[in-house]
C-alpha cells in the first residue's frame, strides 16, 4: 500500500516505505554504526529546526504559542523500558507532513545518490553524511521508533503517532496529545545501554549540540538524602529539569570565546553534514547596517550540487529570530555551496521572499558576504595551494559560473579559476590565469584556449599543432560550463582570451616575417584548389582557406569569429535547444602529403571523394558527428583500394 493511501478516522494503518527509504535505512545503519552517537545530534537538530519554524510562523500568528511560549527540547530516558525520548515543543507535523517527511524522501537526485554508494563503509558514511540522514539516524541504535506529533494550532485529537521497526513498513494512527510539538521515542537495540546513562547523553549534547540556541533540558540526577536527613524522614528531592547546553546563538558570541570544535559542530548542525568544514569566516558588521555572518566552505560537494531547483544553504535570522533556511538572495548562485547563517538587526521580522528580492539591506549584506567568501578563497589559494586544489576539485565547476553572474567581481573570480593546459598535458585543473601569464612568451599578448567535450579531445585537438610547435601554452577546457565561462570572460589582467578554434588565427609576433611571406606564396599556388574544394563542398562550408594552425594534420574546421563554436552548438543541441547551425570554415594544410595529392589529382570524381573524406575527418577530429557515416566509410574503402592498387 502506498504512503498516499487515506486512513479511516480512528483506525491504525500500516503503510510501506518508499523504496529509496528502505535502501537508505539499510545502508545507513551499517555504514554509520561506528559513529552511532550522532543519532542524538540529528534528532536535537530537527527539534531546533521545528522551534525555529514555529518562531517564524508565530510572527504572523502569535496564538500558535498557546500558553507555552518558552521553546525547548527535552531529552529523557527510561532504564526499565530501555527507551530514550527526545521531545520538542516546536511547530509539530500534520499527518500528511509525517508521511511526506518520514515515509518518503522528497529530494531530487535520490536515485542517483543511492547508485553512487559503493559498499565501502568509510566512503559510504561520507556520502550518506552529505545526503543528510536526520530522523532516520534513530535506527542506528533503535530497533523500533515511535513518533507522536501535533501541529501547532491543531486540536489535541488531531495528533498522529508514527511507528516503525525500520524494516520496510510503518504504522500511522490518530492519537490524543495535550501539547503541540513532537516526541520521538527510541526503543534501544540490545547492547546500546550506554545511552541509558545521564552522563553519556549529556556528554553527547555538550559535544554536538552546545550551540543550539534554545534550551536542551535533562532531568537532574536525584540526590539521595544524608543519613541525618533519613533519620529526619526527609524524602529524596524530585529530579528537576535543568538546561544542559549553553543555549545561546553561537554566532552572537565573540570569536575568541568559540573553539574550533564548537565552530565545527555548529557547521554540522546548520549544514546537516558529517564532516568538518574546509574553512569559515565569522564577521560582525556595525555601521549603516548591523548584521553578523558565519559562513562555511564545506569539505565535500553535496550530492545535489547541480540541481538548479535546489535552494541556497544560508539560514536568515532577524535579531536572532529564524526567518528562513533557504535564503537564495543572500548569495549568488555560483556560491550555492556555502553554508552558514546571517543575522540582521535591520530587516523587519515579517520579511518575505518578495521583500528580499529588492532590499537595500539584503543588497549590502550580499555584496559584503561575497567579498568575504572570495577573500577566504584567495587566502586559501595563496597560503595552502594543496587545500585549495581540494576545494577546486569539489566546487571548481560551480565557481566557473561566477564571471557570467557577477560582473562586479569578475576579475577576482577569474583569479581563482583553475584549468588544465598544454604546459603539462594532465587532466588535473591546477593552472591559474596568473601562472599562465607568467609563462607567456615575451612576444605573446593573448591567452589561448581550446574547448572540447572531453579532455582527450581537447588535448589532441589539431588546432593546437602550431602552438605546440612554437612552445606556446594553451588552456584545455573540457567542462560543459566552460563555454558559458568564456562567453563572459574575454580578458584577464589586460590580456585578451581567445579561442584557437574560431576566426582567422592571428599569431601576432609569434609568427615572423619569413613565415608570413612563405604562407602568402603558398596561398597563391593553392587558389585554384581552394575554388575547386568550395565547388565540391558547396553550402557545407562558409569558406575554404589555407591554415596557420596545422603542422601535421591535413585539415581542420574553424568557426567564424562571431559564430557559435562547434562545441557550444553540440552542447545546446544535446540539451534539446533548437540551434540554427552555421557552416564552418574549412582550413587546409598545403604542406600535408594528402593536400599535395589532392592538388595533383586530375580526376574530378577522385578529387571530390578525397575532399569529402578530408572534410569528414576534420569534422570527426573536432568531436562532430557525420551526417552520412556509411558514405564516409565507402569513400575511405575505395580510396584505400586505389592506393593499394
d(CA 164, CA 167): 8
C-alpha cell at 532: 575547386
Q: Hey, is 224 helix, strand or coil?
A: coil
| pLDDT tens per residue across span 212-242 | 889 999 998 877 777 776 777 777 778 889 9
Look-up: residue for cell 498522529? 160
C-alpha cell at 164: 516503525
Strand locations in 63-128, DSSP E?
73-78, 83-88
Q: Which of 349, 58, 54 is nearest to 214 (CA)?
A: 54
Phi, psi of 590 (to 5 degrees): -60, -20
Confidence bin at 202 (pLDDT 50/70/90):
very high
Q: Hey, is 318 helix, strand or coil?
A: strand
The predicted pLDDT at position 326 comes to: 65
Confidence bin at 131 (pLDDT 50/70/90):
very low
d(CA 470, CA 451): 20
d(CA 235, CA 238): 9
Asked if pLDDT for residue 592 goes beyond 90, the answer is: yes
DSSP codes joined into one string, 13-70: EEEEPPHHHHHHHHHHHHHSGGGTTHHHHHHHHHHHHHHHHHHHHHHH-GGGGTT---
- Contact between 276 and 267 under an 8 Å Cβ cutoff? The reply is yes
Domains of the chain, start order: 13-243 (3.30.565.10), 254-392 (3.30.230.80), 510-644 (1.20.120.790)
Handedness of CA 205, 68, 220, 258 (dihedral sign): positive
Confidence bin at 124 (pLDDT 50/70/90):
very low
Q: Which of 130, 134, 116, 106 is nearest to 39 (CA)?
A: 134
644 CB-side CA count, 13 A: 6
| pLDDT tens per residue across span 508-548 | 666 666 766 777 777 788 899 999 999 999 999 999 999 88
| pLDDT tens per residue across span 154-183 | 999 999 999 998 887 889 999 999 999 999
Handedness of CA 624, 627, 628, 632 (dihedral sign): negative
The predicted pLDDT at position 569 comes to: 78
Asked if pLDDT for residue 573 goes beyond 60, the answer is: yes
Look-up: residue for cell 515511535? 146
C-alpha cell at 325: 533556511
d(CA 347, CA 208): 30
Look-up: residue for cell 549544514? 271
| Average of per-residue pLDDT across 597-609 | 90
The predicted pLDDT at position 33 comes to: 58
The region of weakest confidence among 306-320, 478-492, 630-644 is 306-320
Confidence bin at 10 (pLDDT 50/70/90):
low
Confidence bin at 132 (pLDDT 50/70/90):
very low
d(CA 100, CA 162): 12
d(CA 260, CA 577): 49
Q: Are strands 446-451 and 475-477 parallel, antiparallel or unpaired?
A: parallel
The predicted pLDDT at position 8 comes to: 44
| Average of per-residue pLDDT across 340-352 | 82
Asked if pLDDT for residue 189 goes beyond 50, the answer is: yes
| pLDDT tens per residue across span 90-106 | 999 999 888 877 755 54
Is 578 exposed, middle or buried (CB count within 10 Å of its CB: 0-12, 13-18, 19+)? exposed
C-alpha cell at 254: 565573540
Asked if pLDDT for residue 563 goes beyond 80, the answer is: no
Confidence bin at 7 (pLDDT 50/70/90):
very low
- Average pLDDT score, the chain: 85
Phi, psi of 477 (to 5 degrees): -105, 115
Asked if pLDDT for residue 553 goes beyond 90, the answer is: yes
Q: Which of 277, 303, 267, 265 is nearest to 127 (CA)?
A: 303
What's the distance, Cα to Cα, between the start and end of the chain in Å? 73
Phi, psi of 28 (to 5 degrees): -65, -45
Q: What is the largest CA-CA distance in the chain?
A: 126
Which positions ≥6 away from 640 have C-beta within 8 Å? Answer: none
| pLDDT tens per residue across span 387-406 | 999 999 999 999 999 999 99
**What one-character DSSP code corresponds to residue 92?**
-
Confidence bin at 3 (pLDDT 50/70/90):
very low
Asked if pLDDT for residue 185 goes beyond 80, the answer is: yes
| Average of per-residue pLDDT across 605-626 | 91
- Contact between 436 and 447 under an 8 Å Cβ cutoff? The reply is yes
Asked if pLDDT for residue 69 goes beyond 60, the answer is: yes
d(CA 91, CA 43): 15
Q: Give the length of the chain.
A: 645
C-alpha cell at 1: 500500500
Which positions ≥6 away from 133 have C-beta within 8 Å? Answer: 24, 28, 32, 42
The region of weakest confidence among 85-99, 123-137, 295-309 is 123-137
d(CA 505, CA 527): 19
The predicted pLDDT at position 103 comes to: 59
Amino acid at each position: 500500500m502506498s504512503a498516499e493511501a487515506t486512513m479511516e478516522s480512528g483506525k491504525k494503518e500500516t503503510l510501506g516505505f518508499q523504496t529509496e527509504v528502505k535502501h537508505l535505512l539499510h545502508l545507513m545503519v551499517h555504514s554509520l554504526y561506528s559513529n552511532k552517537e550522532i543519532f542524538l545530534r540529528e534528532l536535537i537538530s530537527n527539534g531546533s529546526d521545528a522551534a525555529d519554524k514555529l518562531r517564524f510562523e508565530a510572527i504572523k500568528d502569535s496564538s500558535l504559542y498557546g500558553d507555552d511560549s518558552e521553546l525547548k527540547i527535552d531529552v529523557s530516558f527510561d532504564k526499565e523500558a530501555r527507551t530514550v525520548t527526545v521531545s520538542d515543543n516546536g511547530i509539530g507535523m500534520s499527518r500528511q507532513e509525517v508521511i511526506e517527511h518520514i515515509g518518503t524522501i522528497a529530494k531530487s537526485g535520490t536515485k542517483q545518490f543511492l547508485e553512487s554508494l559503493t559498499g565501502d563503509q568509510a566512503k559510504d558514511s561520507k556520502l550518506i553524511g552529505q545526503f543528510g540522514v536526520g530522523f532516520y539516524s534513530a535506527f542506528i541504535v533503535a530497533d523500533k521508533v515511535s513518533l507522536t506529533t501535533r501541529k501547532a494550532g491543531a486540536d489535541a485529537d488531531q495528533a498522529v503517532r508514527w511507528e516503525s521497526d525500520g524494516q520496510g513498513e510503518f504504522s500511522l494512527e490518530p492519537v490524543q496529545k495535550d501539547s503541540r510539538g513532537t516526541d520521538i521515542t527510541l526503543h534501544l537495540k540490545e547492547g546500546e545501554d550506554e545511552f541509558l546513562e545521564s552522563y553519556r547523553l549529556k556528554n553527547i549534547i555538550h559535544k554536538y549540540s552546545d550551540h543550539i540556541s534554545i534550551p536542551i533540558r535533562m532531568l537532574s540526577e536525584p540526590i539521595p538524602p544524608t543519613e541525618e536527613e533519613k533519620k529526619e524522614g526527609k524524602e529524596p528531592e524530585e529530579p528537576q529539569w535543568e538546561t544542559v547546553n549553553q543555549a545561546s546563538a553561537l554566532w552572537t558570541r565573540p570569536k575568541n570565546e568559540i573553539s574550533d570544535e564548537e565552530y565545527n559542530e555548529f557547521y554540522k548542525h546548520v549544514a546537516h553534514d558529517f564532516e568538518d568544514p574546509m574553512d569559515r569566516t565569522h564577521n560582525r558588521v556595525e555601521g549603516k547596517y548591523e548584521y553578523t555572518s558565519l559562513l562555511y566552505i564545506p569539505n565535500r560537494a553535496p550530492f545535489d550540487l547541480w540541481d538548479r531547483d535546489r535552494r541556497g544553504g544560508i539560514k536568515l535570522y532577524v535579531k536572532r529570530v529564524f526567518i528562513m533556511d533557504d535564503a537564495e538572495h543572500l548569495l549568488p548562485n555560483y556560491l550555492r555551496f556555502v553554508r552558514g547563517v546571517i543575522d540582521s538587526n535591520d530587516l523587519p521580522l515579517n520579511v518575505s521572499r518578495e521583500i528580499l528580492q529588492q532590499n537595500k539591506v539584503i543588497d549590502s549584506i550580499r555584496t559584503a558576504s561575497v567579498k568575504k567568501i572570495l577573500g577566504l578563497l584567495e587566502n586559501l589559494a595563496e597560503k595552502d595551494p594543496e587545500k585549495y586544489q581540494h576545494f577546486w576539485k569539489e566546487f571548481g565547476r560551480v565557481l566557473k559560473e561566477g564571471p557570467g553572474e557577477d560582473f562586479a567581481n569578475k576579475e577576482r573570480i577569474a583569479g581563482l579559476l583553475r584549468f588544465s593546459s598544454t604546459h603539462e598535458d594532465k587532466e588535473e585543473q591546477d593552472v591559474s590565469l596568473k601562472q599562465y601569464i607568467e609563462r607567456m612568451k615575451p612576444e605573446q599578448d593573448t591567452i589561448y584556449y581550446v574547448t572540447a567535450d572531453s579532455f582527450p579531445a581537447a588535448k589532441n585537438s589539431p588546432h593546437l599543432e602550431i602552438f605546440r610547435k612554437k612552445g606556446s601554452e594553451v588552456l584545455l577546457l573540457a567542462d560543459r560550463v566552460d563555454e558559458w565561462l568564456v562567453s563572459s570572460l574575454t580578458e584577464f589582467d589586460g590580456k585578451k582570451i581567445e579561442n584557437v578554434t574560431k576566426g582567422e588565427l592571428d599569431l601576432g609576433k609569434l609568427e615572423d616575417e619569413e613565415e608570413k611571406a612563405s604562407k602568402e606564396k603558398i596561398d597563391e599556388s593553392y587558389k585554384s584548389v581552394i575554388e575547386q574544394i568550395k565547388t565540391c563542398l558547396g553550402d557545407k562550408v562558409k569558406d575554404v582557406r589555407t591554415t596557420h594552425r596545422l603542422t601535421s594534420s591535413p585539415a581542420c574546421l574553424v568557426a567564424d569569429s562571431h559564430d557559435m563554436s562547434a562545441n557550444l552548438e553540440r552542447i545546446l543541441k544535446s540539451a534539446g535547444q533548437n540551434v540554427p547551425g552555421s557552416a564552418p570554415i574549412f582550413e587546409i594544410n598545403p604542406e600535408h602529403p594528402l593536400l599535395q595529392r589532392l592538388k595533383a589529382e586530375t580526376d574530378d570524381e577522385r578529387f571530390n571523394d578525397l575532399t569529402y573524406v578530408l572534410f569528414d575527418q576534420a569534422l570527426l577530429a573536432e568531436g562532430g558527428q557525420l551526417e552520412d557515416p556509411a558514405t564516409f566509410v565507402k569513400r575511405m574503402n575505395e580510396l584505400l583500394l586505389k592506393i593499394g592498387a
